[in-house]
Structure formats: C-alpha cells, structure tokens
Structure 1
Amino acid sequence: MIIKKIFNNNAIVAKDSDKHEYVIMGCGIAFKKNAGEKVDENLIEKTFILKQKDASEKFKLLLEDIPSEHVSLCYDIIEYAKNILKVEFNDYIYITLTDHISNAIKLFDSGIDNPNALIWEIKKFYPKEFQIGLKALQFIKDELDKELPEDEAANIALHLINVQGNISNDKTGNVSKHTKMIKDILNIVKYTYNITLDEKSINYERFVTHLRFFFQRLGQKKDTALEDDFLLNHIKTKYSKAYNCMLKIEKYLETKLSNEEQLYLTVHIQRVTQRN
C-alpha cells in the first residue's frame, strides 16, 4: 500500500494496488514519511474500511480536527460494541460517535457537564447499550485517565441505539411511517387533553424519543415483570386520564401492549401534559 495523505505521525490515508483507499492508524506509521511512499505494514494497528464514500470523506475531515488517540479509542469502543450486540453498524457511527466522544472529553476538561435527560429510559429499555456505554467510560479512563460521568454512558448508548435504528429503518422503509405515527399519537394526546404541547420542553423530547424507541420494540415478545401489574394498577388509578389516553393510542396502533409498555407510555403522557 502507498501513502496518499498524512494526518499526523500516527494516521494516514493509504491506497492499495486496486486504488481502494483506507484510513490507517499505527504508532509512528507516518514518521519521516511522505505521500507516495510505501506503508510499513508492520506498523499498522487499525484499519478503517468505510464503504460509503460520503462517510469516508467526512471521516477524513474529522481526522484533521480530532486527536488520533480519540479516534483510536472510539475504534476500540465500536469494535467492542459490534462484538457484544452482534450487529454491523452504519459507517457513520465512526463519524458521529468519534466526534461526540472527542467533544465530551473536551467538555470534561473544561469542567462542563453534559447530562442526558433520557438516562432512566435508556437504562430500562436498552441495558446492553448502556452497559457498553459504561464499558466505553472504562476505556476512556484506562487510556486517558479521565473519569467521565455516568450520563456520558447514556449519551454513548444513544448513539449505538440510533445507528441500529437507522439500519433497520433503511431496510424496511419505516422512517416516514414512524414519523407519521408519532405525529398521530401526539395529536391523540393534544385532542384528549385539548392542549398545545410545549415542543421545547424536556418532557416532550422524552416522549418523542420514547415513541421512536417504542416502535423499534413493537412486536418483540418480552416477559413482563410481575410487579408491573401492581405498578400499572397504581398508575391507572392515579393518572386515569393519561391511562385512558394511552388506551386510545393502543387502539390506534391496533395491537395489545404489554403491561410494561402501557405503564411507561401512561407515565410519559402524564409528564408531557403537565403544566407545571
């Protein structure tokens, strides 16, 4: 392989005999090297093969602004996530997650918190992704000696959740369908309560995000925990209007929701319709 472009001593763009391009990382792989010279393949540690051209070009731009150790760290996190989740991610995960984590590290160094308002939902509905987020924080601590807060594990998990959803939606063509369904459900809530929802509120954001994740779970069979019966009955009594609104949504969806889904949907309706 021949060096096409050098980002720094540890990161280059190289092309093979078939003119395929790769982003390659390795300690000192570009040290005292110039474009056009042969790559020392013994120094290759990580190879990024991005099949989507647009993603590949954006990733190269990212490398010009982000420390190579951040890129290398994110590569390890993504590979770990692939092995745990047994999925292939869209190429853009290398851009979005790398950019996010690098920025999160900069914010941490500046003493700025980046809380995730959806951490409770993510822990509850996506425990695997959240555990990967926690593992990513351990990677960051081991590599950079920076102990980022637990909220950041949820932020990382959200990237993994979204990219899985994008792959699924791209294959099934459900993006527009789900967008319409979210709009319809919001209208059911608005007409039931005869109110205008505050689209800038955190409860509105939580509700819409919950619905997006909900559509990904719809149709998946899950065992319902026994305590959900007690909690649902309690919520049904305490928030009767929200519960009845949830039943309208269930009827619109033409499916029987689990107790767990009924419970959390009712709670979200109650939150998003509160005025205080």
Structure 2
Amino acid sequence: MIIKKIFNNNAILAKDSSKQEIVIMGRGVGFKKSVGDQVDENLIEKTFILKQKDASEKFKLLLEDIPTEHVSLCYDIIEYAKNMLSVELNDYIYITLTDHISYALKLFDEGLNRPNALIWEIKKFYPKEFEIGLKALDLIQSETNKKLPEDEAGNIALHLINAQTNNSSNKVEDIAHQTKMIQDILNIIKYTYNIALNEKSLNYERFVTHLRFFFQRLNKNEKMEKEEDDFLLKQVKTKYKKAYECMLKIQKYLEKELSDEEQLYLTIHIQRVTQR
C-alpha cells in the first residue's frame, strides 16, 4: 500500500493495489513518512474503508481536526455496537459519533455537559442501544480517565439508532423527536383507557416496534394500500370501537391523514396493548 496523505504521526490515507482508499491508524504509522512511501504494515492497528464517498470525504476532514485517540476510541465503540446489534450501521456513524464524543470530551474538560431530556424514553424504547451507550462510557473512562454523565449514554444511543435507518439524511434530532412522539402516543392511549400499560409485555414491545417503523414510513411518505384494508378496517372499527376512537386521537395528534392500512394496524395494536 502507498501513502496518499499523512494526517499525523498515527493516521494516514493510503491506496491499496486495487486503488481503493483506506484510512490507516497505528502508532507511528505516519512518523518520518512522505506521500508515495510504502505503508509499514507492521504498524497498522485499525483500518477504515468507508463505502459511501461523501462519508469518506467528511471522515478525512474530521481526521484533520480531531485527536487520533478519539477516532480510535470511537472505532472500538462502533465495532462493539455492530457486534451487539448484529446489524449494518451507516458509514456516517464514524463521522457523527466521533465528532459527538470528541466534543463531549472537550465540554467535560470545560466543566460542561449536555443534558438529555429524553434519557428515560431512550432507556425504555431502545434498551439495547442504551446499554451499548453505557458500555461506551466505560470504554471512554478507561481510555481517557474521564467519566462522562449517563446522559451521554443516551446521546450515543441516539446516534446508533440513527445509523440503523440506512438514511444518511436523517439527523439525530429527528430520532429524538420520534422518541418523544412515541411517548406522546403511549400517553394518549394511557389517558384514553385510564390504565398503566404493561411495559414488559410482548404486545407492548410489538407496538413500540410498529411505531418506530411507522414513523420511518411517514418520513418517507410511503403508503402501502391494499384492496382488502377498507373492508377489514370497517370490521375492526365496529369490533374495537374504543381502540379505533383512540387511533383517531393519535391521527389528530400527528396532523396527518393515515392510510386505511395504517389505521387498521394501529387500531389492532392499540387493542392488543390495552388488554389485561
């Protein structure tokens, strides 16, 4: 591999035999090296191959502004997250999460932190991502000797949730907004039925999962209409009258006209989640 650019002593950009660009990190991998030199493969510790061109370009810019140690630390966090979630994460996670954590460490040094108003909702709706966030805080403390607040575990979880959407145009703020809306919808159901929902039930878990994908469809303006939905909706409307009325309240809250299919499945989920 040939060195194409040197970011610092510990990070370089190289090209392999197939002309593919690779970001390489390793202690001393760029020390006393010049563009055009061969890469000392014995010094390679981590490699980044970002398939999305835009993400790759932004990542290279990030390397010029952020300490290599922070990039390496975030690489470990992201690889851990991939293994735990067993899903592909959007390449942009290497940019957004690295930038976020590096800035969080900077704020920590200044005695500041960013409170997360949705911390309890994130714990409830995205427990796996939140647990990874907590593990990330342990890794950060181990590497930097800085103990970031639990709010940051929630912030890290939001980045991981966003990276699972396969849509680089999504923003973490959008995921945070969706999380709040899920809680609002659950509150509408609680107040309509005057009950506490069983958050450990399978029906509750299914409903929250349905809402996550429901919001993804709304954001993409996707509507999946089937011919039989109108007939089924009329039956459900009669059989589960209260659940249907609750669904109409949710539709009003969303300020969107839902398709028959969305109304149908939302009503059925409401009926199931409110059953004792």
Query: TM tier, shorter chain?
Result: 0.5 to 0.7
Could you say which residue in structure 1 is the equivalent of 2:61?
61
- Answer whether contact 1:3 1:13 (CA < 8 A) is retained: yes
**1:210 Cα deviation after fit:** 5.0
Q: Whole-Å Cα distance in 1 between the matches of residues 70 and 179 of structure 2?
A: 30
Match of 1:254 in 2: 264
CA–CA distance in structure 1, aligned partners of residues 47 and 30 of structure 2: 14
Partner of 2:82: 82
TM-score of the pair, normalised by structure 2:
0.67
Distance 1:26 1:18 in 2: 22
Partner of 2:228: none
Q: In structure 2, what is the Cα distance between the partners aligned to 1:260 and 1:159? A: 31
Q: Secondary structure at the match of 1:19?
A: coil
Answer yes or no: is 1:223 the counterpart of 2:202.
yes
- Distance, in Å, in 1 between the alignment partners of 2:124 and 2:44 is 40
Alpha-carbon distance change, 158 to 260 in structure 1, aligned in 2, over 3 angstroms: farther
| Alpha carbons 2:2, 2:38 under 8 Å: kept | yes
User: In structure 1, what is the equivalent of residue 92 of structure 2?
Assistant: 92
Structure 2 residue matching 1:4: 3-state secondary structure = strand
**For residues 188-233 of structure 1, what are the alpha-carbon distances to aligned partners after superposition, in whole Å with 9 as ceiling and x for unaligned?**
xxxxxxxxxxxxxx9x786346589xxxxxxxxx6147xxxxxxxx
d(CA) in 2 for partners of 1:224, 1:139: 35
Work out whether 1:207 is the aligned partner of 2:192. Answer: no
Stretches of structure 2 lacking an aligned partner (at least 5 in a row): 186-200, 205-242, 252-257
Change (3 A) 1:121 1:259: farther
The letter of the residue matching 1:24 is I
Residue 37 of structure 1 aligns to a residue whose secondary structure is coil
Instruction: State how 1:62-211 maps to structure 2 within 5 Å.
Output: 62-164=62-164, 166-167=165-166, 207-208=180-181
**Residues 85, 205 of structure 1: CA spacing in aligned structure 2 closer, same or farther, 3 A cutoff?**
closer
User: Once the two structures are superposed, what CA deviation does each residue of 1:99-151 show, in whole Å capped at 9, x if it has no partner?
Assistant: 11111111111111201111111100111100000000000000000000000
In 2, Cα distance between equivalents of 1:26 and 1:16: 17
Deviation at 1:250, TM superposition (A): 5.9
Partners of 2:91 and 2:274 in 1: CA distance: 35
Equivalenced residues, count: 205
SS at match of 1:82: helix
**Equivalent AA in structure 1 for residue 269 of structure 2:** L
Q: Which residue type is aligned with residue 3 of structure 1?
A: I
Paired residue secondary structure (2:87): coil
Question: Which letter does structure 2 place at the counterpart of 1:122?
Answer: I
Unpaired runs of at least 5, structure 1 = 180-201, 213-221, 226-242, 264-276
TM-score (norm: length of structure 1): 0.67
Q: Specify whether residues 25 and 259 from structure 1 end up closer, same or farther in structure 2 by C-alpha distance, changes over 3 A only.
A: farther
Q: Distance in 1 between matches of 2:27 and 2:43?
A: 7
Give the fraction of aligned pairs with identical amino acids, expressed as a percent: 65
- CA deviations on 1:50-88 (whole Å, 9 max, x unpaired) are 011111000000000000000000000000000000011
Indicate the residue corresponding to 2:221 in structure 1: none
Structure 2 partner of 1:51:
51
Any idea what SS the aligned residue of 1:88 has? Answer: coil
